[in-house]
Chains A and B, each alone.
Chain A
Amino acid sequence: MPLTRRNFLKGAAAGSAVVACAATTASEAEARENKTLPPKAVGLLYDSTLCIGCKACVKACRDANDTSPEFNTADPLWDTPLDLSGSTLNVIKMYAEGTSDHKDQEKDGFAFIKKSCMHCVDPSCVSVCPVTAMRKDPDTGIVSHHPDACIGCRYCVASCPFGVPKFEYNTPTPQIHKCQMCRHRQAEGKIPACAEVCPTGATLFGSVLGLREEAARRRSLPAGETTTFSRKTVGSSDTHEKNTAHYLPHTYGETEMGGTQMMLLAGVPFDKLGYPTLPEGSFASASETIQHTVYKGMAAPVAVLGGLMYLAHKHTKHDGQDED
């Protein structure tokens, strides 16, 4: 067909129609919804206003997972991880603004924040891993990693919205590392090491629903009111009393990306603490919707293949006799 203006417009119109059809079908067809919270989901609640930055949890995590210290100062004297890494599964970072005089205040204030795996309800890493090295436990919801399956493609590193899984780049036999909620300790009836050692109860372990309730309770109290905080697990007898701080009216992880099993409370806006604003629809569901729509039951590809084979056969029937 000669490329006249009419033909171009016809083609463009046809093309757009095709795309529009595809788009509508895609949106109506099984848009994969967010996955839901497993029945016995366990998780962690981190309260930045209770955290005193003692880093007992960083040390406990090292001990529980047998990871090596990281040195980032001129003299390698102190364990100073900058971020999560191949050997740091849990880190405490500090927010400081202006004079940093007031704890848990955004302006001229300082605050602490914990970074470790969020154990998302609909994890990107589980969705993208081509060899099922990342798995989500169907009961507890713990997202675990299995290096024996892993091929080291680092899709999980690239796709985690929180930048949690980390890879080792300086060894010929590298592995992915991330917090696994001390599932090896939980198997022995213990709780994650970070919750075990926290002196103020800033990191609390428990059922996700129980943690959400506790978070809501704290947020409902007016700032300055004395209340009881438990340590280690929600409702434990190891408690202490303290004035509540001013909380942001949101528990981070309750709705983000369909929810996360590690949730956060803070007085400083979360995006200033390194936790981005994320939509309620998980990225994994967006990606899988496209894949499932196009490849559902491999019906479309097989049909297309059939058509292609017919045409190819028809157009190559004579090739055996013709010159190439």
Chain B
Amino acid sequence: MKDDILDAIETRLGLSRRHFMQFCAAMATTMGLPNGAEAQIAEALTSAARPPVIWLHFQECTGCTESLLRAEHPTLEKLILEIISLDYHETLFAAAGHQAEAARRASMEANKGKYILVVEGAVPMKDGGVYCKVGGQTAHDMLMECAADAAAVICIGSCASWGGMPSTSPNPTGSTGVPELVKDKPVVTIPGCPPNPYNFLSTVVHLLTFGKLPDLDDKGRTKFAYSRLIHENCERRAHFDAGRFAQEFGDDGHRKGFCLYKLGCKGPETYANCPSILFGDVGSGSWPVGTGHPCIGCTEQGIGFQKPIHALAELKNAVPPQSYPRIVEEQGEGASMGSVALIAGIAGVAAGAGVALGRNLGKAKKPEDTTFGEE
């Protein structure tokens, strides 16, 4: 690890070496990496090479950027903006207009094939894509232009991942997610509305540390964050398993923190890690269900912004199954040593006596009269 960089971090960011290592450890934990990974992460982050990042905004509310800006450990915009070279970000840039676009193009040219493209927001496809234009260029054109020379594409938020809120029926602008449009590059999706910033940050750090993207599922979602249903880790799961439901907002069950299934919680059909890492670093309960509102399934296409908030969720799995009795359970006492021995003993004695008697009879004297009379 380069000492001068660590010193620079300390001087400019007020971040001691210990705090920096803690940050690396937190990243490693979030991604479920083994012991020792934090050292690798620290090494990667303090190395001089800082890949450039181009960050595009399309049909979005900027919530994903806002979420990222609230990352706490450390004040992340400072660190990451130093670790990665953020060459284009409409929200954070001081510059605007054609100069900003020129800067983008210059960076793309200088870093051909090496920059990471981050997309926030959906891409409208209807009517030639006129519903979102930046500097006269449609979102779709801008996306394809930037993706052409990118090393990888990371879609932050549900909008970029699959269309999100703008794509709610009847989807008047034809909002589309990036994976449907960019087919020739590795595409990671980090759905959520907004997603927990650490899901995004961990992905970037993984890429910087190991030179490759984390394991992804068939929708491009990182498995470390999106391989489990919310239902599997929900702190109110015991209430679901015992059938204790809040019937109405504010009723007795709601106040006691009962399961929100009946109010429409989409936890049973939504993949995300919200109940595990929560939001805002303010402690337990800082996620929708924890505050008493049913999950709306914001990460899932077809559920979030599509299925009515108070419609009941389908059950995607029944894990763990061992909490239910099976259709056939083995019950009742079978044979024991004692009972089998007893029966065998009796059978033996009876057989022995019977055989002895039988043989005796064979030798018995003849009956008095061997002839039968007629009836």
Contact = CB atoms under 8 A, between A and B. Distances in A.
> Do chains A and B make direct contact within the complex (CB under 8 angstroms)?
yes
B325 A82 contact: yes
B75 to A, nearest CB: 43
Nearest to B247: A199
A299 interface: no
A54 B311 contact: no
A241 B327 contact: no
Nearest to B240: A54
A94 B325 contact: yes
Contact of A52 (B268, B325, B328, B331): B268
A82 B329 contact: yes
A288 interface: no
Contacts, number: 92
Interface residues of B, number: 31
Interface string B364-375: 000000001011
B261 A94 contact: no
A180 interface: no
B242 A81 contact: no
B97 interface: no
A55 B311 contact: no
A2 B374 contact: yes
A52 B237 CA distance: 13
Interface string B302-324: 00000010111011111001011
A11 B20 CA distance: 105
B243 interface: yes
B232 to A, nearest CB: 14
Contacts of B70: none
A52 B242 contact: no
Given A52-B261, A52-B315, A54-B261, A273 B327 contact: yes
26 contacts: A52-B261, A53-B324, A55-B243, A56-B242, A58-B243, A59-B242, A82-B329, A83-B329, A92-B324, A93-B324, A93-B325, A93-B327, A94-B318, A94-B325, A95-B326, A96-B318, A96-B321, A96-B326, A100-B321, A101-B317, A103-B315, A103-B316, A112-B324, A199-B243, A241-B311, A242-B311
Interface of B: 240-245, 259, 261-262, 268, 308, 310-312, 314-318, 321, 323-329, 331, 372, 374-375
Given A56-B242, A199-B262, 12 more contacts: A54-B242, A54-B245, A54-B259, A54-B261, A56-B245, A78-B323, A83-B331, A93-B327, A95-B326, A110-B321, A200-B312, A272-B327
